[in-house]
Structure formats: C-alpha cells, structure tokens
Amino acid sequence: MNRVIKALALATALVAAWPALAAPAPRGGNEIPFVGFGGIQNWTANDDSTLYVQARGGPWYEVDMAQPCTGLPFALRIGVASGPMDTLDSFSTILVDGNRCQVASVTRLASPPPRGRTAARKN
C-alpha cells in the first residue's frame, strides 16, 4: 500500500511539472517591429556582448548576443537580418563589419541604458 501511495505521489508530481519540462525556455520575449522601415531609431554598444537599441517612439531594448560579437563596441554602423517578419527578436542576426552575430535575447528596458564609453548613435 505504501508503494502505491508513493507511486501516485510521483505520478502527480510529474503531471504537475510536465508543462514546465515540455515548454522551451523563453529567449527574451520582446521584439522590435518594422526594423526595415525605420523601426530602429538609435543604438549604442559598450561591449561585444550587449547592444542597446532604441525603437521608434522611444522605448529602449537590451539585445544580448549569443556569443561575443567582435567589433561591436567600435562599429560605426550595424545591420539587422530580421527575416520575413521584419522584427528584431531572438531569431535575428546583427551584422557588424561583415560578421554575423546571433541574437540571444531582446529585453525591454524600463529606462534608457547606462552611459558608457560609447555615445549613442543615430542609425
């Protein structure tokens, strides 16, 4: 009888945890629409792993790279390969000096990014 109760408790725990185990981990959840039509108003980068992007209308987003993006802090311009949905999201690629840098996540910021060595640039 004790084994039956333990087995039922284990089965109940697995059923309760199944949605969390089956669902893929979110990759940021935010996106910037219309990047090909002026959706990005401003951007700045202070290191090779983080890009700050200001969307049209004012909100700022932190864009984290999947791997370090060589040359990002010193780039004078960047490109965005956004795919058919024309959004900057976790499936997009940032183009810097001929290099493709995969985006890991896009997170909306509550306030403008901290000022660092690099001043914000108009795109």
Query: For residue range 42-95, what is the model confidence (pLDDT) as tens digits?
Result: 889 989 999 998 988 888 999 999 999 999 999 999 999 988 888 888 889 999
Mean pLDDT on 1-25: 56
Tally of structural domains, the chain: 1
Polymer length of the chain:
123
Note down the domain range covering 107. Answer: 32-122
- 49 in any annotated domain: yes
Tokens of 73: 């802090």
Contact 71, 99 (CB under 8 A): yes
| Residue at 16 is within a domain | no
| Residue whose tokens read 């004012």 | 58
Q: Is residue 109 part of a domain?
A: yes
Backbone angles phi, psi at 59, to 5 degrees: -70, 140
Pairing of strands 99-108, 60-65: antiparallel
- Residues 42 and 120 sit within 8 Å (Cβ to Cβ): yes
More confident residue, 119 or 14: 14
Closest CA to 35 of 12, 8, 54: 54
- Does the structure show a pLDDT above 50 at 23? no
Which of 84 and 5 is assigned the larger pLDDT? 84
Percentage of the chain exceeding pLDDT 90: 23
> What's the whole-model pTM score?
0.68
Q: Is residue 76 part of a domain?
A: yes
